[in-house]
Structure 1
Amino acid sequence: MQMRSVYLASGLLWLVLTVLTGLSFASRAVSEAQTEFTRISQQLFENIGQKLQVNEAVLDSYATFTGLGMKNGGQEERQFVRQFLQRYPQIIAVMRIERVPLASRDSFLKEARARHGMMYTIHGLDKDGKGAAGSVALSEEGFPVTFIEPSNRISSRWLGADIATNDFLRDTLLDAIESGRSAASRSFDWADGRAAYLMVRPSDDLSTYVSAGGMPWHFVGMMVRTGSLSSQVGDLPPGMAVRLWHKRFSPSAPQGWFVNVAEPPSGWLESRIFPRLERVRQVGSEAQPLILSVSWQLGWKQIGLFEWGMSAALSLVTMVLLWLGCESYRRYLSSRVEREARLFYLANHDRLTGLANRGLFYDRLQHAISRLNRSGKRLAVLFLDLDRFKPVNDTYGHVVGDRILQMIATRMKQALRSEDTVARLGGDEFVVLLEDIESYREVDRVVARLKGSIEEIFEVEEHRIRVGVSIGVAYYPEDGVLIEELLSVADRKMYGDKREPEAVC
C-alpha cells in the first residue's frame, strides 16, 4: 500500500514536471514567435508605408509638371508619364481631370474633340467604377477625364468619364478639394479587372483658388494597382493574418479592403492556451489613410520539432529517474522490513534450534490465556527435559550435542500441530503450548507422540545416539491462572516423570 502511494505520487509528479517542461518549451516558442511577429509587422508597416509615400510623391511630381503650364495631352507630357509608368509598375494609368460647369460644357467639348477626335464625349461611370455608363445622369458641374495614359483600348473607356457620377470617386474628389492635397479612393476593379484605387489631387496652386474663394479647375489623378500593396506582404508564417483597409470604412467592411490575408480558423483549445498577437496602425498619410492590421493566433504549429523532441526527451529522462528513485526506495523499504523481521526473529527465537525463545513463549501463552478467558476453553503447558544429554556433550562434543538439539526441535515440530507453540527455555529444556484442548486423553496422545519421536535413535557423524525425555503437564485453569504457576506445576510434574536414562549407544 505504501509503495502504491509512492508510485502514484511519482506518476503525478512526472505528469506535473512533463506539463511544466512542455509549458517551458512552449513559452520559449511563443517568445520566439512574438519576436518574429514584431519583426514581420514592423517590416510590413515600413514597406507598405514607403510604397504609399512613393505613390503620393509620384502624383505630386505629376501635379507639379502639369502646373508648369504644359499643354494638356502634349507629347512632352506623354513622354513624362510613360517614364513614370515604366519606372513605377504599380501605376496603371495617369490622368488629368477638369472641372467643367454646365454652362461651359459645349465649349469644353469642342476643344476636347479637337484634341481627341469627334468620339470624345462626357459620360458617366457605373457604380463600380469600371467604365462608361451612358444611363448615368451627368451633374451640373462635371469633372471629366481630359487626358489618360496609357492610351490603350482599356484605359480609353475612362477618357471623358465624369468621376463625379460615381459615389465613392466623387467623395474622393471632394476630400481632395477640401484638403487641397491628394486623396485616395477605396479599392475597386479597374477596367481590365485588376483591383486598383484612384488617387486624385488639385494641380492648381492652392493659394490661387483659396484666395479667390473658389475651388480648383484642374486635377491630376493616378490609378494605382492594389496588388502592389499585397506584394509587400510576401510569405507569412502559417496562421498570420494581414488586413489593409481604407480608414473611411470599418475593418469588417469588404468594400474597404485593400489587402486581406485571412486568418485560418484556430481550435478552441489553441485560442485559450496560446496568445493572439495583433498590431493595428495607420500606415499612410491623410492622403492615403490606410489602416494596417497584423494578427497572429499562435498555436501548436509554433512548437517546432526541437521543442517537441526536447520535451519528449526530458519527459522520458524524468520518468526513468523517478522510476529508479521508486525502485531504490522500494529496495530500501524491502531491506528495512527484512532487517526488522530478522531482528524480530533473533529477538524472539532460539538461535540454535530456531524455536521460540522464553520471551515469545510467554507472550503467546499470555495471549492464549486472555483469549481462553473469553471462550471458556482450556490449554496445556508441557515442560520437557532431556535425560542423559550431558553425557552426549561430554562424549561427542558440543558440536554433536548442538546437532542433536536441532534434530529434536525438528521432530517436536513434526509431532505437533501447526498452531501449537514449541519453545526452548535453555540448555536441554523445552516447553510446549497446546491451545483449545478437548480432553486429557488428547494431551496424553501428544505426550506419547513427543516421547516416541524424541527417543528414537539419532545418527550424527556415524554415531548412533539415543536420549530420553521427561515431560510434565500443567492445565489451565486447573493448575493455575498465571504463567509462572503453570510453568512451576509443569516443571514439578516433569520431575515426577523422571526415570533412569537409557544408555548411550
Structure 2
Amino acid sequence: MINLNILLLKSRNPYTQYIIALCLVWLTLFIIFFSFIINYEVNAVEEKFQNIHETIYRHIADSIKIYEVSIESFAGVLTTEQSNDYKNARRLARQLRRHYPDIYMFEVAKRISHGERDELERSMQNSGYSDFMVHTFGYDSDRKSHLSPVKDIYYPIVFIEPELRESMAVLGLDLSDSSSILKDALERSFDKQTHVASRPFKLIENNQGYILYRELRAVEVEPRLELIPRQNLYALLVVDASKLIPDWAYDKKGLSFSLHYPGVGMAQDGNLINYSGNTENINSWPLSLLAELTKTSELKSQSQPFKLTTEYTIHWSDFDFAAIIIYIIIATAAFTIAFLISMVWYRKKVQNTKQHETNYRLANYDALTELPNKIHAKELFYQMVSLLKQNKKKLALLYIDLNKFKQVNDKYGHKVGDILLQHASKRLNSVLRDSDTLARLHGDEFIIFINDIETLSNAEAVVGNIKAAFEHPFNLTGIPITIGISIGISIFPDDGVSFGALLDASDKNMYEDKKQGMHSVVQIFSR
C-alpha cells in the first residue's frame, strides 16, 4: 500500500501535492457518498424486513384469534347436542374448516370410567368405527399405538373432523395416558374455564403441532328449566403449526423464522417452528457484516402466548442497482466538475501567489546577490529594534565597501564584476552568525546587522573576522583577484535610534576606514 505521507513529501511541487490532496479528498467523498447509498439501501431493506415481520406477526395473531373463536363456537354447539352422533358439531366444524382451511382438525374427547369403556367401544363400533378401541400412542417413545391399560378414568377421542384415512387412528386415543404433553394440557384445562394450548408435539402424520383444549361446562337449554350436564366432554382444535406462517414466507430467500412456546405454566418450553430459511445461491458478503436483521415479538394471547423471531440475511439482489448506478453517475459527475473547478481555481491562485512572490522579491531583494535590499533592510532593522527594546541589548550596523571595485569592472568587465559581488556576498555570509543579517545597498556597498551585542568590542571582533576573510584572493574564471574592504561601525542606540541615523554614522566611519586603509587594511574606524 502506498504511504501517502511519503508520496506528499517526495512531491516537492506544490501543484503535484495539491493534485494528490484533491484526489484523496475526492476519493474520501466518493467513499462516504457510496457508504451513504449502501446505508440508505440497507435501511430500506431493514424497513422491508420490519414489514415482513409485522405481516407474519399479524397473520399468526389473526390465525390464533380464529382458532380461539372457532373452538369457542365448537364447544358451544357441543353443549347443546342432544345425542352422541355430534351432527350439529360436525356441521359447524365443516363450515369453519371451509372458511378457515388452515384449521387442521376438530376433535372431541370424552371422560369415561373403566366400567363405561366396553360400552363406549361397542357403541362406536356399531356406529361404523369398527376398529375403535381405547388406546394410547407413544408420542414420547416409539410412536406406535398400544391398548390402553386398565385404570379408573379414560379420556378417549370420540369425534374427529375431517375423518381422513391417515387420521382415523386418532379415534379412541386416551389423552391422559398417551403423552405427558397431552396430559399436561388436559390437567390445565381442568383448572381454567377457557381454552388452553398444549406444548408442541408431533402429530401422528409427523407434523409439528399443538392442541387447543376447551372443557365443556353445564349449559342451560331453556332459561331456568333444564341443565344438560356436559362436563365429561372436551372440545379440541388441532393446529398444524406450519400453517401459522404464510406460505410466501417459506419461499422468501434469506428469511429465517422460529415460533417458540415460552411455556407459561408448563413444565418445559417448546419450538413450534424453526425454519432456517432458503439461502441457496445467496451472495450476502460483505453485506451481512453491515447489519444483522432480527426481530422478536410476543403474541398477546392467554391461550397461545407464542414468541415469533424472524431473521433476514441481506443479499445484493435486495438493492436497487439502477438507482445506485444513477446515484454514482451523478456523484461522479458532480465530484469531477468540482474537481476541475478547484483545479482551475488552484492554478490561478498559484499563479497569483507566484506573481506576488516575484513582485515581493523584486521589491525587497537584490536580483544579483539575492540579499535583502535597502528597503527590506530598513524593515528588518525596525523588527530587530522592537525585540532589542525588550531584552535591552544593542545592535551594530556595519557599512561595508569593496575597495577599488571600479578598477575590476574596468579591467575585467561588468560580468566578472557581478561574479565578484556574488562571491563577496557569500564570503561575508560565511563569517556571520545565523542571527546576523547581510544586505546589499547598491553597487559594491553592503550593510550587516550584528544582533544582540553588549559592547563595541563585540562588533569589532566580527569586523576582524571579515577583514581576515578578505585577505585571501577570489578565483574568478581562473583569474585570482585580491580586493580590499572598508568597514564602518555604528551602534544602536548609542549612535542613533533610526535606520537613517545609524546608516549615516556607519557610512562616515567607513570612509574614515577607507582613508586609513590606504596605508593599513587592519586599522578599523568607529565612532
- For Structure 1 versus Structure 2, the TM-score category normalised by the shorter chain is 0.5 to 0.7
Tell me the residue number matched to 1:419.
423
Tell me the residue number matched to 2:405.
383
Tell me the residue number matched to 1:223.
238
Structure 1 residues 196 and 70: CA distance shift in structure 2, 3 A: farther
One-letter amino acid matched to 1:167:
S
Structure 1 residues 177 and 358: CA distance shift in structure 2, 3 A: closer
Say whether the 8 Å CA contact 1:279–1:293 is kept in structure 2: yes
In 1, Cα distance between equivalents of 2:147 and 2:262: 31
Say whether the 8 Å CA contact 1:180–1:206 is kept in structure 2: no
Structure 1 residues 134 and 486: CA distance shift in structure 2, 3 A: same
Structure 1 residues 113 and 130: CA distance shift in structure 2, 3 A: farther
Tell me the residue number matched to 1:174.
187
Structure 1 residues 311 and 215: CA distance shift in structure 2, 3 A: farther
Tell me the residue number matched to 1:61.
73
Say whether the 8 Å CA contact 2:79–2:219 is kept in structure 1: no
Say whether the 8 Å CA contact 2:155–2:175 is kept in structure 1: yes
TM alignment of 1:304-383, pairs within 5 A: 305=321, 306=323, 310=327, 314=331, 317-318=334-335, 321=338, 325=342, 328-329=345-346, 332-333=349-350, 335-349=352-366, 359=373, 380-383=402-405
Say whether the 8 Å CA contact 1:362–1:483 is kept in structure 2: no
In 2, Cα distance between equivalents of 1:411 and 1:277: 88
Say whether the 8 Å CA contact 1:90–1:228 is kept in structure 2: yes
The structural deviation recorded for 1:240 is: 5.1
**Does 2:59 correspond to 1:47?**
yes
**Does 2:297 correspond to 1:280?**
yes
The structural deviation recorded for 1:346 is: 4.8
Say whether the 8 Å CA contact 2:59–2:245 is kept in structure 1: no
Of the candidates 476, 484, 489, which is equivalent to residue 475 of structure 1?
484
Question: TM-score, normalised on structure 2?
Answer: 0.60
Say whether the 8 Å CA contact 1:230–1:259 is kept in structure 2: no
Tell me the residue number matched to 2:214.
201
One-letter amino acid matched to 1:476:
I
- CA-to-partner distance for each residue in 1:138-174, whole Å, 9 max, x for gaps? 6531111112233343112111110111111122222
The structural deviation recorded for 1:179 is: 2.0
Say whether the 8 Å CA contact 1:124–1:138 is kept in structure 2: no
In 1, Cα distance between equivalents of 2:291 and 2:309: 19
Tell me the residue number matched to 1:256.
271
Say whether the 8 Å CA contact 1:132–1:158 is kept in structure 2: no
Say whether the 8 Å CA contact 2:252–2:278 is kept in structure 1: no
In 2, Cα distance between equivalents of 1:63 and 1:357: 112
The structural deviation recorded for 1:123 is: 0.7
Deviating more after overlay: 150-159 vs 302-311: 302-311
- CA-to-partner distance for each residue in 1:219-266, whole Å, 9 max, x for gaps? 22232222211226626876554332224169xx88332454569999
Say whether the 8 Å CA contact 1:149–1:155 is kept in structure 2: no
In 2, Cα distance between equivalents of 1:441 and 1:386: 12
- CA-to-partner distance for each residue in 1:374-421, whole Å, 9 max, x for gaps? xxxx9953332799x9xxxxxxxxxxxxxxxxx96446447x596246
One-letter amino acid matched to 1:292:
L
Structure 1 residues 221 and 484: CA distance shift in structure 2, 3 A: same
Q: What is the aligned length?
A: 424
In 2, Cα distance between equivalents of 1:362 and 1:382: 27
**Does 2:91 correspond to 1:89?**
no
Tell me the residue number matched to 1:292.
308
Tell me the residue number matched to 2:393.
none
Structure 1 residues 287 and 116: CA distance shift in structure 2, 3 A: farther
The structural deviation recorded for 1:67 is: 2.9
Compare CA radii of gyration and give the structure with the larger one: 1
Structure 1 residues 138 and 432: CA distance shift in structure 2, 3 A: farther
Say whether the 8 Å CA contact 1:199–1:221 is kept in structure 2: yes
Over the aligned positions, Cα root-mean-square deviation in angstroms equals: 5.5
In 1, Cα distance between equivalents of 2:326 and 2:17: 30
In 1, Cα distance between equivalents of 2:185 and 2:332: 62
Tell me the residue number matched to 1:373.
none
Deviating more after overlay: 54-63 vs 161-170: 54-63
Question: TM-score, normalised on structure 1?
Answer: 0.63
Tell me the residue number matched to 1:99.
111
In 2, Cα distance between equivalents of 1:362 and 1:203: 112
Say whether the 8 Å CA contact 1:44–1:232 is kept in structure 2: no
In 1, Cα distance between equivalents of 2:20 and 2:353: 21
SS of the equivalent of 1:220 reads strand
In 1, Cα distance between equivalents of 2:107 and 2:371: 121
Structure 1 residues 177 and 261: CA distance shift in structure 2, 3 A: farther
Q: List gaps (5 residues or longer) in structure 2.
A: 1-8, 378-399, 427-438, 447-465, 490-505, 519-527
Tell me the residue number matched to 1:371.
none
- CA-to-partner distance for each residue in 1:203-232, whole Å, 9 max, x for gaps? 443679xx99x9821122232222211226
SS of the equivalent of 1:59 reads helix
Tell me the residue number matched to 2:199.
186
The structural deviation recorded for 1:105 is: 2.2
Where relative contact order (Cα < 8 A, 6+ residues apart) is larger, the structure is 1
Tell me the residue number matched to 2:131.
119
The structural deviation recorded for 1:97 is: 1.2
In 1, Cα distance between equivalents of 2:183 and 2:158: 16
Structure 1 residues 110 and 440: CA distance shift in structure 2, 3 A: closer
In 1, Cα distance between equivalents of 2:182 and 2:71: 17
The structural deviation recorded for 1:116 is: 3.9
One-letter amino acid matched to 1:341:
T
Say whether the 8 Å CA contact 1:245–1:257 is kept in structure 2: yes
Structure 1 residues 205 and 22: CA distance shift in structure 2, 3 A: farther
The structural deviation recorded for 1:100 is: 1.0
SS of the equivalent of 1:256 reads strand
Identity %: 15
Of the candidates 140, 143, 154, which is equivalent to residue 166 of structure 2?
154
TM alignment of 1:65-76, pairs within 5 A: 65-69=77-81, 71-73=83-85
